[in-house]
Structure 1
Amino acid sequence: MADDEKRVFLTVGTTAFNELINTVNQSDICNVLKELGYSRLLVQKGRGQVDPKQPENIEGFRVEHYQYKESLHDDMQEADLIISHAGAGTCLEVLNMQKPLVVVINEELMGNHQLELAKRLQSDSHLFYTTCKDLPDLLRNLDISSLKPFETGRPEKFASFLDKAMGIS
């Protein structure tokens, strides 16, 4: 791997999010990422039944994938951009790393607490959120410089925020 290679890491956590993998496979997302200067997409696909595919006719761009690893930390750390499901643990880990984050909401989930979390973190300019359908457009217009760093080292603040977002307190 070249040191100047720009990388995108996509994670769905421990769940299945086939719609997101299908979106990456069937849309022009890889073309958009290539246009933005990225040359590698690494996908952690979780329990999903769909494998990410290497796009045809895109030279200098590669897609790799795996199901699970004991830790995603190294893959996140090496990434220049992270695309993720809206799991609270994943969001917190990425934000604590000060990495640009695009959260894709799984609209098939019942009682979608992920949407509440993503809306709040986007309103505070910590990340961008979207749906599978709107992911290509969001990436085309991505302005990472508009993101504000997440205040790290205060897990109780995030826990309190999460409790409020989920209606617990």
Structure 2
Amino acid sequence: MESKESKKMVFVTVGTTSFDALVRAVDSPQVRDELSSKGYTHLLIQMGRGSYFPSKFSGEDGSLAVDYFTFSPSIADHLKSASLIISHAGSGSIFETLRLGKPLIVVVNEDLMDNHQSELAEELADRKHLFCANPQTLHQIISNMNLDSLVPYPPGDSVPVAKLINRFFGFPDD
């Protein structure tokens, strides 16, 4: 039986959208191997409206255990129990994770037109609050990441600002 202390979960979220490129990337052997080499034991993927279904693994053979789901009334518990979060670039997901003080890799969906989300993710990465990737570079970011280099995001209530930004650009709150 695995003890609670030895479980290191990576939680992946795409929000309410479809971001198959991110789900495919985290389902790749390259990314799974990088996560395992960093000591992570579990990968839980929230795949939203996507049509790509990742592979499930039990992890009984010592490999990374992988599971997925489409939607949940709340992902707060998953965020709280995760050791690392890999997220789409939605402002709500970003700020909720930063507020929890969790290490975060934001993966930008380059297929979105007028992708203002990439600007937010890149700015926060420049300030060392998170790591920023695209689906093609995710395995390299994981390989090179040093969680000790991250700078905590200053506390504050960013939810109203994030919702206002999303509303202004016509995106649903996530």
Equivalent residue, structure 1, for 2:8:
6
- Structure 1 window deviating more from structure 2 (54-63 vs 13-22): it is 54-63
Contact preservation (8 Å) 2:47, 2:70: yes
The residue type equivalent to 1:22 in the other structure is R
Which structure 2 residue ranges, 5 or more long, are not aligned? 170-174
Equivalent residue, structure 2, for 1:97:
100
Match for residue 129 of structure 2 among 126, 137, 140? 126
TM-score, with structure 1 as normaliser: 0.88
SS of residue in 2 equivalent to 1:20 = helix
Contact preservation (8 Å) 1:86, 1:114: yes
Which structure 1 residue ranges, 5 or more long, are not aligned? none
Identity %: 37
In 2, Cα distance between the equivalents of 1:54 and 1:15? 21
**CA RMSD between the two structures:** 2.3
Within a 5 Å distance, the mapping from 1:14-163 to structure 2 comes to: 14-54=16-56, 59-155=62-158, 159=161
Deviation digits for residues 53-89 of structure 1, max 9, x if unmatched? Answer: 1369963421011000000000000000000000000
In 2, Cα distance between the equivalents of 1:7 and 1:67? 18
Count the aligned residue pairs: 163
In 2, Cα distance between the equivalents of 1:24 and 1:40? 12
Q: Offset at 1:2? A: 2.6
TM-score, with structure 2 as normaliser: 0.86
In 1, Cα distance between the equivalents of 2:35 and 2:44? 12
In 2, Cα distance between the equivalents of 1:55 and 1:38? 14
Q: Offset at 1:27? A: 3.9
The residue type equivalent to 2:31 in the other structure is I
Q: Offset at 1:111? A: 0.2
In 2, Cα distance between the equivalents of 1:103 and 1:125? 12
Contact preservation (8 Å) 2:58, 2:66: no
